[in-house]
Amino acid sequence: MTYTVGMYLGDRLKQIGLDHHFAVAGDYNLVLLDQLLKIDGMEQVYCCNELNCGYSAEGYARAKGAGAAIVTFSVGAISAFNAVGGAYAENLPLILISGAPNSNDHGSGHILHHTIGTPDYAYQIEMARRITCAAVSIISADEAPAKIDHAIRTALRERKPAYIEIACNVAGAACARPGPVSAVLSQVPGDAATLEAAVEAIAAFLAKRDKVAILVGSKLRAADGGEGAVALADALGCAVATMAAAKSFFPENYPNYIGTYWGEASSPGAREIFDWADGILCLGCVFNDYSTVGWTAWPRGANVVQADIGTVTLDGQVFDGLHLKDLLTALAARLAGQPKKGGTMTEYRRIVGAPAPVDSAAPTAKLTRAEMARQIGALLTPETTLLAETGDSWFNAMRMKLPQGARVEFEMQWGHIGWSVPATFGYAVAEPKRRIITMVGDGSFQLTAQEVAQMVRRGLPVIVFLVNNHGYTIEVEIHDGPYNNIKNWDYAGLIEVFNAGEGKGRGFRATTGAEMAEAVRAALDNHGGPTLIECIIDRDDCTSELISWGRRVATANARPPAK
Ligand SMILES: C/C(NCc1cnc(C)nc1N)=C(/S)[C@H](O)COP(=O)(O)OP(=O)(O)O
Ligand SMILES: [Mg+2]
């Protein structure tokens, strides 16, 4: 059997740990798909459309560290670009591979199908360059190994998406075989002197402060800094909070964990502590308009250390060229044995003597948001992953207490509604042994619902809580209008459509707590396919956090143009 360009790509994807890749067929990628099917231990998983294909690979990357999506030229790739932009925003190595025009057509003046109708086909890779860390076009077999390795290596190093386009007549062409996988897994070491200087500068910063707190941000995962953050928290003995998008990136049963810091939408007591602290260590934090509640909750200035993936900034100094993972480990070692900084925990215990508000309501009454959230929260085990969609689902998830090992996935930087359904599909393909739960609003679900059919096809026992509050409630709280109303669907009834008489999916409508509890019991017994539980709640039944957060974001959006 000839060893081909497509097989080289497939072997590299397998070598970096992918057992699956996601695809939508198109005539520019069929020969490539054939090559990938030849790779032992690599399964080709099909999606309903290229947006969902991209998000399935993105969800897979959240579980496995990287993901791959194969699409056809232009009509496929440009849809998938939305998921690539999301992967860039969320620091995920999604590798988008697009079939491309025959290499003989370049410069021929030929007008080709699926293109924008000009003989210059470079527009696609030019678009890709803006939303990836590496973008390559392969029009000959000789150049394929180096270009494929460059794209994969860069994506893994930078934790950002990469783009590979392969001419349709090259994917099956004879190609050299790859060398050791270390060629694409190697990291550029951090600078030792910079690391040492940064550690000393932070130690000096802390020595002058008593009211110290740690804020964990969403880039901590991309930096592989989870263990280092716990070691640093152990060394300091201070309060630790997570930003909303970093929920589950720090263990919530940690004794000094005080919940989410999110301005007015914070966990009880957390905002006060960060307002009160005189030394804040920000680890991999992303401060955008949503995460700072319209720029009203943005730790910065002389009392803040910003420790990012490769750079530390404090006191007017910047230390670039280090790895956050190394910094946390070295700093924890440097502070070992020093006096603890427990002032913030002492103060926190004073503030939150009263227990946090518990979501509960009589299960027989009309279903409320609080009761829905309570029943979902009760399902979280150490083996659970909860994917929470853009919407009030963010705030419902924020209130949930996680057992150690439970994971939460958001897409808070990109915030593309509908992301959670295909991302759930990809994540469930990657992690068949975990309990996968999705909380998705009715508005979001309508963008990507088709991928529930793929969950039926593969018999994935995912539980989808469809929050039917009759429209775009998060938008209602920011700025209401007729555009926030949507056509209602029979969401539970969709499952029978997707089953088509053979699938094992189940759908339930819950209008009371008791109906929801019964549906949950059935879902936990359904191991042969997804269970969608449509939770019907009032349009205005949303979290108090959403209301205040929505006001702040609306104010930020309404700032008049600068003079
Ligand atoms: C329309 C929009 N955002 C604008 C938007 C529009 N288009 C895309 C692709 N992404 C977006 N975030 C948002 S957050 C809706 O409130 C989501 O509604 P739903 O899923 O029903 O959730 P809630 O009811 O809890 O808000
Ligand atoms: Mg809604």
Average pLDDT over residues 120-130: 98
Domain spans of the chain? 5-185, 192-351, 369-554
CATH topology of domain 369-554: Rossmann fold (3.40.50)
Closest by CA to 316, choosing from 308, 327, 305, is 305
Q: Which CATH code fits 5-185?
A: 3.40.50.970
Ligand nearest to the CA of 445: 1
Q: Do domains 192-351 and 369-554 have the same CATH topology?
A: yes
Distance 291 CA to ligand 1 centre (A): 16
The verdict on the CB of residue 411 being under 6 Å from ligand 1 is no
pLDDT of residue 357: 46
Distance 420 CA to ligand 1 centre (A): 12
Closest by CA to 424, choosing from 398, 403, 393, is 393
Residue 262 has pLDDT above 70, yes or no: yes
pLDDT band at 351 (very low <50, low <70, confident <90, very high): confident
Secondary structure element (H or E) that encloses residue 550, with its range: helix 544-557
The verdict on the CB of residue 444 being under 6 Å from ligand 1 is yes
Residue 361 has pLDDT above 70, yes or no: no
Task: Give the whole-angstrom CA distance, residue 14 versus residue 4.
Answer: 15
pLDDT of residue 42: 98
Task: Give the whole-angstrom CA distance, residue 554 versus residue 539.
Answer: 19
pLDDT band at 548 (very low <50, low <70, confident <90, very high): confident
**Residue 86, SS3?**
helix
Measure Cα distances from 157 to 130, 188, 380 in Å: 18, 8, 32
What is the tens place of the pLDDT at every residue in 432-471?
Answer: 999 999 999 999 999 999 999 999 999 999 999 999 999 9
Average pLDDT over residues 63-90: 98
Cβ(12)–Cβ(148) under 8 Å? yes
Closest by CA to 18, choosing from 132, 95, 77, is 95
pLDDT of residue 544: 86
3-state secondary structure 383-429: CEEEEECCCHHHHHHHCCCCCCCCEEECCCCCCCCCCHHHHHHHHHH
Percent of the chain with pLDDT over 70: 98
* Candidate from 121-135, 390-404, 546-560 with smallest mean pLDDT: 546-560
**Residue 534, SS3?**
strand
The verdict on the CB of residue 70 being under 6 Å from ligand 1 is no
Q: Is residue 49 marked as binding?
A: no
Distance 478 CA to ligand 2 centre (A): 13
| Lookup result for tokens 């929050």 | 467
Average pLDDT over residues 252-277: 95
pLDDT of residue 358: 46
Task: Give the whole-angstrom CA distance, residue 372 versus residue 45.
Answer: 33
Closest by CA to 281, choosing from 306, 313, 318, is 306
In sequence order, what DSSP letters do the residues of 238-286 get, joined into one string?
-EEEE-GGGTTSS-TTSTTEEEE-BTBTSPTTHHHHHHH-SEEEEES--
3-state secondary structure 122-142: CHHHHHHHCCCCEEEEECCCC
Average pLDDT over residues 153-163: 98
ipTM associated with this complex: 0.99
Average pLDDT over residues 245-254: 97
Distance 421 CA to ligand 1 centre (A): 14
> Which residue type occupies 459?
G
CATH topology of domain 192-351: Rossmann fold (3.40.50)
pLDDT of residue 91: 98
**459 phi and psi angles, rounded to 5 deg:** 65, 40
Residue 392 has pLDDT above 70, yes or no: yes
Output the average pLDDT for the chain. 96
pLDDT of residue 364: 65
Ligand nearest to the CA of 546: 1
pLDDT of residue 490: 98
Q: Is residue 256 marked as binding?
A: no
Q: Which residue among 51, 387, 390 is best mutated to probe the pocket of ligand 1, counting the most ligand atoms within 8 A of its Cβ?
A: 390
In sequence order, what DSSP letters do the residues of 314-361 get, joined into one string?
ETTEEEES--HHHHHHHHHHHHTTSPP-THHHHHHHHHT-SPPP----
The answer for residues whose C-beta is within 8 angstroms of residue 171's C-beta and 6 or more apart is: 4, 5, 6, 29, 31, 32, 35, 99
- Tokens read off for 544: 């108090």
The verdict on the CB of residue 416 being under 6 Å from ligand 1 is yes
Pairing of strands 257-260, 239-242: parallel
The verdict on the CB of residue 480 being under 6 Å from ligand 1 is no
Residue 316 has pLDDT above 50, yes or no: yes
The verdict on the CB of residue 550 being under 6 Å from ligand 1 is no
Distance 503 CA to ligand 2 centre (A): 27
pLDDT of residue 298: 96
Q: Is residue 484 marked as binding?
A: no
**Which residue lies with its CA nearest to atom 17 of ligand 1?**
472
Q: What is the DSSP letter of 216?
A: E
Using the atom order of ligand 1, give the atom closest to the CA of residue 416: 10
Closest by CA to 216, choosing from 202, 196, 231, is 231
What is the tens place of the pLDDT at every residue in 2-33?
Answer: 999 999 999 999 999 999 999 999 999 999 99
pLDDT band at 547 (very low <50, low <70, confident <90, very high): confident
- Tokens read off for 68: 């791959």
pLDDT of residue 356: 46
Geometric angle at alpha carbon 107, from 105 and 109, rounded to 5°: 75
* Candidate from 2-16, 201-215, 503-517, 546-560 with smallest mean pLDDT: 546-560
Task: Give the whole-angstrom CA distance, residue 254 versus residue 229.
Answer: 11
Cβ(534)–Cβ(510) under 8 Å? yes
Burial class for 397, CB neighbours closer than 10 Å (0-12, 13-18, 19+) = buried
Q: Report residue 442 CA to chain centroid gap.
A: 20
The verdict on the CB of residue 424 being under 6 Å from ligand 1 is no
Percent of the chain with pLDDT over 90: 92
* Candidate from 131-140, 295-304, 356-365 with smallest mean pLDDT: 356-365
The verdict on the CB of residue 82 being under 6 Å from ligand 1 is no
Task: Give the whole-angstrom CA distance, residue 160 versus residue 217.
Answer: 17
pLDDT of residue 477: 85
What is the tens place of the pLDDT at every residue in 516-534?
Answer: 999 999 999 999 999 999 9
What is the tens place of the pLDDT at every residue in 82-97?
Answer: 999 999 999 999 999 9
Residue 354 has pLDDT above 60, yes or no: no
Residue 362 has pLDDT above 70, yes or no: no
Distance 555 CA to ligand 2 centre (A): 22
